[in-house]
Amino acid sequence: MRSKTMLILAAVALLFVVGNLVFFSVDETQYAVVTQFGEPIRAITRPGLQWKWPEPIQSVVFYDNRVMVLAPDKAEYLTSDKKNILVENYVVWRIADPVQYLKSLQERGRAETRLTDIVSSELGTALGKQELASLVTTEQRAMQLPVVLDEVTRQSGVQAEKYGLELVDVRAKLLNFPEKNRLSVFSRMKSEREAIARKYRSEGGEEAAKIRADAEREQRVIVSEAYAKAEKLRGEGDAEAIRIYAEAYGKDPEFYKFLRTLESYGKFIDDKTTVVLPSNSELLKYLNQVQNRPPGQSASQPGRSDSNATSAGLISATDDAAAATDGRR
């Protein structure tokens, strides 16, 4: 009984050892390559339980099938207009053909070294065809860096295929100037921006001058129209005044002359005025009548004509009008 139990245990142990030597499992994140005497004979790309002949006849090598990111060191490149730029990029890659990968590279360190060389060479070639202004610009349409990186990804991917690699993407993390050239580049950029600012100021000054000229021209038009309208109104007023004067003159010419004479007195006679005129002057006509009137004679004394009586009565108000005129002055 005891020997039978020992035989069963031995058989189980043998089966376990043989199972470990023959069967193996592949994880979802892995590729497996079965080698026979060191030479790859098949690749297993699906997860699950697999088998092989025991070692040393056959063995299994596992590789990561996930996307990996490579971040090379910063490198200096030269543009087509002879400007040095410092670029830091990253490379997204994965193993596409595990058998070819095993034959050519075998491990991740070698793969990353080879990818760094390939991408660096293609990036230098692509950047050497572009001017600095097309790589560093604020205009989206003129920006050529995304186009350059797409071309680098395509060209580098073609070269990476012979190593069993798939190049997913190449992108730039940093694009800068070397320290020795940075100050001169910034100074040139500042000068260019100042030139653009001066251009904008000049265009703004020209536009402002144009606006001012238009405003002044419009002002002159408005003032001219207003002056013409004022002259028209003034002419209409003068015409109306002449009409009124003519109407008044037609009703009583003597009275009209008398009023006009009084207005003349009010304009040039004050308390400091000394007038030297001939005795027969029209201006002295009514003053002489006042002076030559006998004392105590009324302006409405019988025996005088109606027009003279009216004139004499109004002449008696001359002094009052003169006094009022002196008060205004």
pLDDT at residue 12 in the model: 59
CA angle 293, 299, 302 (to 5 degrees): 100
Enclosing H/E stretch for 76: strand 75-78
pTM beyond 0.75? no
pLDDT at residue 7 in the model: 67
Return the CA Rg of the chain.
Answer: 59
**Beta carbons within 8 Å of 100's beta carbon, 6+ residues apart:** 162, 163, 164
Convert the pLDDT of each residue in 141-163 to its tens digit.
778 889 999 999 999 999 999 99
Convert the pLDDT of each residue in 228-258 to its tens digit.
999 999 999 989 988 887 887 777 777 777 7
The two tokens of residue 264 are: 């003349």
3-state SS, one letter per residue, for 134-184 = HHCCCCCCCCCHHHHHHHHHHHHHHHHHHHCEEEEEEEEEEEECCHHHHHH
Alpha carbon distance 213, 206 (integer Å): 11
Please report how the helices 253-268 and 318-328 are oriented relative to each other, as an axis angle in degrees rounded to 10: 40
Ranges of residues in the chain whose predicted pLDDT is under 70: 1-2, 6-20, 181-182, 185, 279, 282-329
